[in-house]
Structure 1
């Protein structure tokens, strides 16, 4: 599938709850193949994956983490378990779709939640994104009223942010980059009992 001259990025979604399914629907809508995995056996959610579309490939966690771009759509508390799947995440982009709502800030060593998650995925480039919308909105077609639904992206790596921005465009969204994790990440994070300014803002861009 990947010959070196023309490497096409491979995608995976870890977590197949409401948000994981909403993301899978976005991929299926555009005919883009994506692996989905949980900590459970793929057979336990294979029929749900098939129901979304042939592009959604149920697989094991060990297989899914081979992808170039990995959407982390698990509960915030579960991210360290996913991080254990590889010793090094070098060369991979992690899209952090988690929300740390209700997690006491001291549990995160005073860091923005995305920076805290980034620490677990050693060597990865982390992009915070797709987390500011509830699943019921995220799963809808992003083309609305002649505009495109906005997704916010924050990353300390501009190349990674650009790549996920291009993917968001391919999925039909309008990406807006918010800068680094310490600045932009704070605008879209749920942290303890506080909400970032942009969380749950369902916005559209008209080109």
Structure 2
């Protein structure tokens, strides 16, 4: 299984740290030349590879960590996204609900990435928290996952566990997904909730 993070701002770098901490190779990319952020990638760890967007979209599992407004541009990198799993880490704060046709922002992302399996996740924590080791005081930091594809949610849940997090599935995009999405000028109820799960 191959992994990529598209977007290398604070959230993208926090995700890259999670992969590096666990010795898992991950490609990082933006719409810019990879040379412009290669040094930052190398500083995180030797398995964080700065590559072009065209290289990054070859991965099986792709974290979409760009600004919400940029997702249509990224989606143009492939004519179809069958066989890919997209983890939507975007937050559509400030985007009017009517611009989304009244649907959850992840539904709009899913339409742009035609054919992909889509999971909403890893977006409810601020970057500084997401960047930390998720093992805290004998517990693991929670990440919420929402998807209309149960198998995809299970796969990303397994990856989250591999990265040291405690995944909690919260249902489909139109139900649980709304708890972790921004709508207009409001945030979902679970956004910014930094929760820990103690394993029995």
Q: Which TM bucket (shorter chain)?
A: over 0.9
Q: Tell me which residue corresponds to 2:10.
A: 18
Displaced runs of 4 or more, over 4 A: none
Partner Cα separation in structure 2 for residue 70 and residue 60 of structure 1: 14
State whether structure 2 residue 19 is matched by structure 1 residue 27: yes
State whether structure 2 residue 156 is matched by structure 1 residue 164: yes
Partner Cα separation in structure 2 for residue 89 and residue 181 of structure 1: 19
* Cα offset, 1:179, TM superposition: 0.8
* Cα offset, 1:190, TM superposition: 1.0
User: Unaligned 5+ residue runs, structure 2?
Assistant: none
* Cα offset, 1:94, TM superposition: 0.2
User: Unaligned 5+ residue runs, structure 1?
Assistant: 1-8
State whether structure 2 residue 36 is matched by structure 1 residue 67: no
State whether structure 2 residue 143 is matched by structure 1 residue 151: yes
* Cα offset, 1:70, TM superposition: 0.3
Partner Cα separation in structure 2 for residue 108 and residue 18 of structure 1: 25
Give the TM-score taking structure 2 as reference length: 0.99
Q: Tell me which residue corresponds to 2:35.
A: 43
Q: Tell me which residue corresponds to 2:84.
A: 92
State whether structure 2 residue 102 is matched by structure 1 residue 110: yes
CA shift digits 1:30-62 (9 cap, x unpaired): 000000000000000000000000110000000
Helix, strand or coil at the partner of 2:167: strand
Q: Of residues 70, 90, 101 in structure 2, which corresponds to 1:78?
A: 70
RMSD (CA atoms):
0.4
Partner Cα separation in structure 2 for residue 96 and residue 187 of structure 1: 14
CA shift digits 1:64-87 (9 cap, x unpaired): 000000000000000000000000
Helix, strand or coil at the partner of 1:101: coil
The count of corresponding residues between Structure 1 and Structure 2 is 199
CA shift digits 1:146-169 (9 cap, x unpaired): 100000000011111001000000
CA shift digits 1:116-153 (9 cap, x unpaired): 11000000000000000000100000000110000000
Helix, strand or coil at the partner of 2:123: coil
Partner Cα separation in structure 1 for residue 47 and residue 66 of structure 2: 21
Q: Tell me which residue corresponds to 1:3.
A: none
Partner Cα separation in structure 2 for residue 87 and residue 147 of structure 1: 42
* Cα offset, 1:194, TM superposition: 1.1
